[in-house]
Amino acid sequence: MPALSKRAASLGTENAFVVLAEVNALIRSGKDVISFCIGQPDFPTPTHIQDAAVAAIRGGKHGYTPSAGIDELRAAAAASMSKLRGIDIAPDEVVVGAGAKPFIAYAIASVTDYGAGDEVIFPVPGFPIYESQCLANGAVPVGLPLRESRKFALDPDELASRITPKTRLLILNTPHNPTGGLLTGQDLQAIAEVLRRHEQVWVYADEIYSKLVYRDENSSGEFTSIAALPGMRERTIISDGASKTYAMTGWRIGFTANKALAPVFTRWITNTESCATQISQWAAVQALNGPQDEADAMRERFRSRRDLIVRLLNAVPGFRCAAPGGAFYAWPNVTEACARIGAADSEELRRRLLHEAGVAVLADIHFGPRVQGDGQHIRFSYAASETAIEAGVGRIADFIKRNSRKPQT
Ligand code: PMP
């Protein structure tokens, strides 16, 4: 067989999809597995959004669109992003893509040169595509650790220490996958302060979970974007989409806003998928412009499930879990649980939970190297029913109790 390129051979992946394949194979073989692996809402897409898609198909609106997206969606996304962030985004700054994910690659490829040693700083733990797209595009990945002691908000001093003259891009993600952590207004001010000393650095603000921020005694429930801070707007690529807010992961609609990069992203899309599916684009117009009560209700359900899962996880021997402020992920520290059952690390715990307890989760190493000194973590996506949460965490508690070694004397 002719050889593959080094790039193809070394291309990274999103391990959630790999574990999901393993879980699905187990389920097919008859095993009873409760899964907390995949980060997608478990609700159906609201009916009025479905209806808009059907109307688009019936109305003949199913051909190619301009690569940047239909004007109606660019305008709706501009209005929605402007409102949430308190800034004024024009429709021609917005580019629509097949999900938010492709823009990660487009952004890295648009601001770094292949093999030139250009550096991209991104959070660790973090969405694995940040690093894999750096490598695929010949940029140098520079991980920035997020620590439990800071509620997984990045440390501005650590950020400052990682910026060099070769730094081209900083990727921020708030609310954060996998920890559910938030960057508060104060955190973002401190980050902006650092960035003002480094004019050459673009910011990719991955804000796909921006409408999943929870109000409670620990948090105002307000979402803050770095793009709204003085001097940050021009250099910030805002990324958002329909997947998480409107239960539309499979419809593949994401959008970015940045004036300088909009024409560049448009050209990337012309070179790759041509345009996002027109049918989904019309559905997304309805999602953004139509009634928001179902999206609000889904967010409320996620908040109450968060409270449920955090309470249950904290009752599992050896688990410790702070309440995350957004997204739909819980990231308990399981260092002590690993020790109790003699598991070498979170990955061994994950495998044993899957095969011996029938519960599927992801391990911290699926999101980059473990942060030194922060112990072991696993990720739960609580976009699962209350019944699944109760049964799944119950199985874990039983498993840990059953397998706990006697304390050494
Ligand atoms: N960024 C982050 C942090 C995510 O978690 C995800 C989805 N898991 C995406 C981007 C991509 O979302 P989309 O479905 O819009 O491509």
Q: Give domain status of residue 183, yes or no.
A: yes
Task: Please identify, among 260, 289, 318, the residue that sits at the C-terminal boundary of a domain.
Answer: 289
Which structural domain range is residue 215 located in?
63-289
Looking at the fold, whether 315 and 333 belong to one and the same domain comes out as yes
> Measured from the CA of 242, which atom of ligand 1 is nearest?
15
Looking at the fold, whether 284 and 315 belong to one and the same domain comes out as no
Looking at the fold, whether 254 and 364 belong to one and the same domain comes out as no
CA of 2 to the centre of ligand 1 (A): 34
Q: Give domain status of residue 50, yes or no.
A: no
> pLDDT tens-digit profile of 24-63?
999 999 999 999 998 899 999 999 999 999 999 999 999 9
Distance CA 349, CA 342 (A): 9
> Measured from the CA of 101, which atom of ligand 1 is nearest?
16
CA of 100 to the centre of ligand 1 (A): 6
> Measured from the CA of 98, which atom of ligand 1 is nearest?
16
Looking at the fold, whether 109 and 38 belong to one and the same domain comes out as no
- To test the ligand 1 pocket, which listed residue (37, 127, 172, 240) has its Cβ within 8 A of the most ligand atoms? 127
Question: Quick check: 253 pLDDT over 80?
Answer: yes
For residue 340, name the pLDDT band (cuts at 50, 70, 90): very high
Looking at the fold, whether 104 and 209 belong to one and the same domain comes out as yes
CA of 344 to the centre of ligand 1 (A): 30
Q: Give domain status of residue 380, yes or no.
A: yes
For residues 271-300, average pLDDT = 98
Q: Give domain status of residue 376, yes or no.
A: yes
> Measured from the CA of 206, which atom of ligand 1 is nearest?
1
For residue 285, name the pLDDT band (cuts at 50, 70, 90): very high
Distance CA 35, CA 27 (A): 10
> pLDDT tens-digit profile of 38-47?
889 999 999 9
CA of 59 to the centre of ligand 1 (A): 30
240 or 15: whose pLDDT is higher?
Answer: 240
pLDDT of residue 407: 61
Q: Give domain status of residue 53, yes or no.
A: no
> Structural domain tally of the chain?
2
Q: Kindly report which listed range (75-79, 130-134, 388-392, 402-406) carries the lowest average pLDDT score.
A: 402-406
Q: What percent of the chain has pLDDT over 70?
A: 99
Residues 6+ apart with CB under 8 A from 308: 382, 386, 389, 390
pLDDT of residue 351: 95
Question: Quick check: 403 pLDDT over 60?
Answer: yes
Distance CA 229, CA 227 (A): 6
Q: Give ligand 1 pocket residues (Cβ under 6 A).
A: 39, 99-101, 127, 173, 177, 206, 208, 241, 243, 249, 254
Q: Give domain status of residue 230, yes or no.
A: yes
For residue 222, name the pLDDT band (cuts at 50, 70, 90): confident
Task: Please identify, among 274, 289, 304, the residue that sits at the C-terminal boundary of a domain.
Answer: 289
0.85 cut: is pTM over it? yes
> Measured from the CA of 176, which atom of ligand 1 is nearest?
3
CA of 405 to the centre of ligand 1 (A): 39
CATH code assigned at 105: 3.40.640.10
CA of 281 to the centre of ligand 1 (A): 17
For residue 406, name the pLDDT band (cuts at 50, 70, 90): low
CA of 177 to the centre of ligand 1 (A): 9
Q: Give domain status of residue 85, yes or no.
A: yes
Looking at the fold, whether 272 and 301 belong to one and the same domain comes out as no
CATH code assigned at 335: 3.90.1150.10
Looking at the fold, whether 187 and 254 belong to one and the same domain comes out as yes
Looking at the fold, whether 110 and 21 belong to one and the same domain comes out as no
CA of 208 to the centre of ligand 1 (A): 6
Nearest to 81 by CA among 228, 181, 188: 228
Looking at the fold, whether 136 and 211 belong to one and the same domain comes out as yes
Looking at the fold, whether 124 and 109 belong to one and the same domain comes out as yes
Mapping DSSP onto H, E and C, the string for the chain reads CCCCCHHHHHCCCCHHHHHHHHHHHHHHCCCCCEECCCCCCCCCCCHHHHHHHHHHHHCCCCCCCCCCCCHHHHHHHHHHHHHHHCCCCCHHHEEEECCCHHHHHHHHHHHCCCCCCCEEEEEECCCCHHHHHHHHCCCEEEEEECCHHHCCCCCHHHHHHHCCCCEEEEEEECCCCCCCCCCCHHHHHHHHHHHHCCCCCEEEEECCCCCCECCECCECCCCCCHHHCCCCCCCEEEEEECCCCCCCHHHCCEEEECCCCHHHHHHHHHHCCCCCCHHHHHHHHHHHHCCCHHHHHHHHHHHHHHHHHHHHHHCCCCCECCCCCECCEECCECHHHHHHHCCCCHHHHHHHHHHHHCEECEECCECECCCCCCCCEEEEECCCCHHHHHHHHHHHHHHHHHHCCCCCC
For residues 274-295, average pLDDT = 98
CA of 39 to the centre of ligand 1 (A): 8
Round the average pLDDT of the chain to a whole number and report it: 96
Looking at the fold, whether 327 and 298 belong to one and the same domain comes out as yes
Distance CA 76, CA 81 (A): 9
Q: Give domain status of residue 56, yes or no.
A: no
pLDDT of residue 220: 78
Q: Whose CA is nearest to atom 8 of ligand 1?
A: 39
Task: Please identify, among 259, 289, 319, the residue that sits at the C-terminal boundary of a domain.
Answer: 289
> pLDDT tens-digit profile of 154-201?
999 999 999 999 999 999 999 999 999 999 999 999 999 999 999 999
> Measured from the CA of 126, which atom of ligand 1 is nearest?
3
> Measured from the CA of 327, which atom of ligand 1 is nearest?
5
Q: Whose CA is nearest to atom 9 of ligand 1?
A: 101
Looking at the fold, whether 396 and 257 belong to one and the same domain comes out as no
For residues 360-368, average pLDDT = 96
